[in-house]
Amino acid sequence: MQQTNQTHRSTILTLLISTIGLGLLVGLGAAGISFFLEHVERLFLGFAETTMQPLAMSASGWQRLASVTIGGILAALSWYFVQTKLTQPVSINKALDEQPMPVGTTILHALTQVFYVGTGGSVGRELAPREVGAMLAQQWTRLLQKTGLPTLEAEDRRLLVAAAAGAGFAGVYLAPITGTLFAIEILYKKVSQRAIAVSVGMSAIAMLVGGVFKGFAPYYVLVDKNFDWHILPFVVIASPVLGLVGGIFRNAFQAADGSNKAKGKQMLWQLPIMGIITGLIAMNFPYIMGNGRGLAALSLTNPTTAILGTLLVGAALKAVVTVLTLKAGAFGGTLAPSISIGGALGAVLGSGYLVLMPGMPLGQLALMGAVALLAASQQAPLMALFMMFEVTHLDYTALLPLGIAVSLAMLTSRLIIKK
């Protein structure tokens, strides 16, 4: 019994050290990824991305076209090199099963994702810090074996990989609860006191490190944060619709990222073509570029009925171009694109609600659309709920409508999602 207690205490001590150490390392990795993105955007598009300036509006149409085209060519060459000359990248899900993530391959793979998004490629950039976090966790556990500390069981090593992946997200988006829920809800898929303690601690530390380097401003701005009961009828009506749209988007990007995804020589010509297509659209419609932050900001920050056509076109184009970009061989996330599509559609649907309830802030209605579509497309209701809280710095009045939106969207999306 005494030996069992001693082993238990040693394991807890190792997990505590790992939570702090990995939190710091993953936070630094996330900060490095953010700095790399900033330099790519400055070099190719000549702008510094901020909360109030999320898009390269000052760049000329030709500069946007050149940026995404060159980005597509260079990203295709980099991924081709990774696929043909290096050890194949290992996904986070496989890393959870203790398949080793090669350090050099993972870093190059992640930086290529961030590079392509920085030049204007239409995918999310949240996958890169998650992969780097998972890789750092594997390297950390190997280091522990060499230091003489008690060896962690396979289940605890799996927990560290999941928590570090979530912490990578938290370090970039300054969203520790979201990082925690991503780790537990999507990756680890087990709820326990140990899992919560490790994930929360690691994500919080990574967020603090990331915030020290890049500040703590919200990722999206919502002008009116005081929600009341007047929004509830809209939530009840619109959320099921957006849940269906989110389910369709999920099916589409999973199919695009599956067995038919362009690889090798196919990617060498398909991804540059998608870069050209994205660039041609971006010449007159820059909201298509990047992870969709610009389109989301347009829908959330003081939207008016005068731009509803822009938002509707933007949502359709963003969905199609993102899916085709993934199909053409690009790697990246779909969280931020889901927010942009949902926000735009929420504002469009909300314009009809304004006829019945004049005076409602259209940005709030856009937010309901964003969280509904995000929850449905990711099949992660808690993560979607708290992500919108954290990236827009909402207060408690948003909890009820967001909770209802997430619940209804999840129910309807289950009617059509394939898996």
For residue 299, is pLDDT > 90?
yes
CA atoms within 13 A on the CB side of 328: 25
C-alpha span between 160 and 20 (Å, rounded): 11
Dist CA 72 CA 116 (whole Å):
7
Q: At what angle do helices 399-413 and 381-392 cross, to 10 degrees?
A: 140
pLDDT band per the 50, 70, 90 thresholds, residue 236: very high
Which residues touch 192 (CB under 8 Å, ≥6 apart)?
Answer: none
- Please list the residues that pair with 124 across neighbouring strands: 333
Residue 282 and residue 279: Cα distance in Å, rounded?
A: 5
Within its chain, how far is the Cα of 94 from the centroid?
Answer: 19
Q: What percent of the chain has pLDDT over 90?
A: 78
User: Does pTM surpass 0.75?
Assistant: yes
Mean pLDDT of the chain: 92
Q: Quick one: pLDDT band at residue 181, thresholds 50, 70, 90?
A: very high
- Which two structure tokens, joined as six digits, stand for 311? 């938002």
DSSP state letter for 101: -
Residue 153 banded pLDDT, cuts 50, 70, 90: confident
Mean pLDDT of 327-338: 94
Q: What are the start-end ranges of the H helices in 88-152?
A: 92-96, 103-119, 127-147
List the Cα angle 387/315/384 in 5-degree steps.
Answer: 15
Domains observed in the chain: 2-214 (1.10.3080.10), 229-413 (1.10.3080.10)
